[in-house]
Amino acid sequence: MNDILSRLFFAGFIRLHILHHAAEEAICGVDIVAELGRHGYRLSPGTIYPALHELEKAGYLTVRTSVVAGKVRKYYAATSKGRKALKQARKKLHELADEVLQPPKSRKRAKPNR
Ligand SMILES: [Zn+2]
């Protein structure tokens, strides 16, 4: 994946995506890599785990350790703070998508706040 694009834009998309899925059900790193892979992101553990730790540090995710088929897995779930953040981010995402994904002709420019 393009490094500049990843750093500037996709890093936030990935975090939002993780939070979205962690709000639906507890999810482990391996599942997140697979899920994001389904969306065309090829992520290494070196990308995913720092993102998970940041979200955890922000208080948006809680982590629980579970042994699955003899393997220790960490499962991440959204906290109520995380759900609130997700709600705010969704609002912003909606606004952005409404504008950015419009065909050029119907684009309206927001009036400057002065
Ligand atoms: Zn997804």
pTM given for the model: 0.84
Sheet with 61-68: strands ordered across = 27-28, 71-78, 61-68
Report yes or no on 111 lying in a domain: no
The verdict on residue 65 lying in a domain is yes
- Give distance in angstroms: CA of 32 to centre of ligand 1: 8
SS3 content of the chain, % helix, strand, coil (to 5): 60, 15, 25
- Note the pLDDT of residue 105: 73
Nearest one of 28, 32, 89 to 58, comparing CA atoms: 89
Domain count, the chain: 1
Phi-psi region of 70 (alpha: psi -120 to 50; beta: other; left: phi over 0): left
Q: 93 lies in which domain range?
A: 3-106
- pLDDT at position 90: 97
| Averaged pLDDT, groups of 10, the chain, 114 residues long | 83 95 95 93 87 96 93 95 98 95 74 68
52 alpha carbon – ligand 1 mean position (Å):
15
Tell me, what's the pLDDT at 17?
96
pLDDT at 31: 93
Q: What per-residue confidence (pLDDT) applies to 106?
A: 67
Q: Tell me how far apart the alpha carbons of residues 77 and 52 are, in angstroms, rounded to a whole number.
A: 10
Q: Which CATH number fits the domain that encloses residue 43?
A: 1.10.10.10
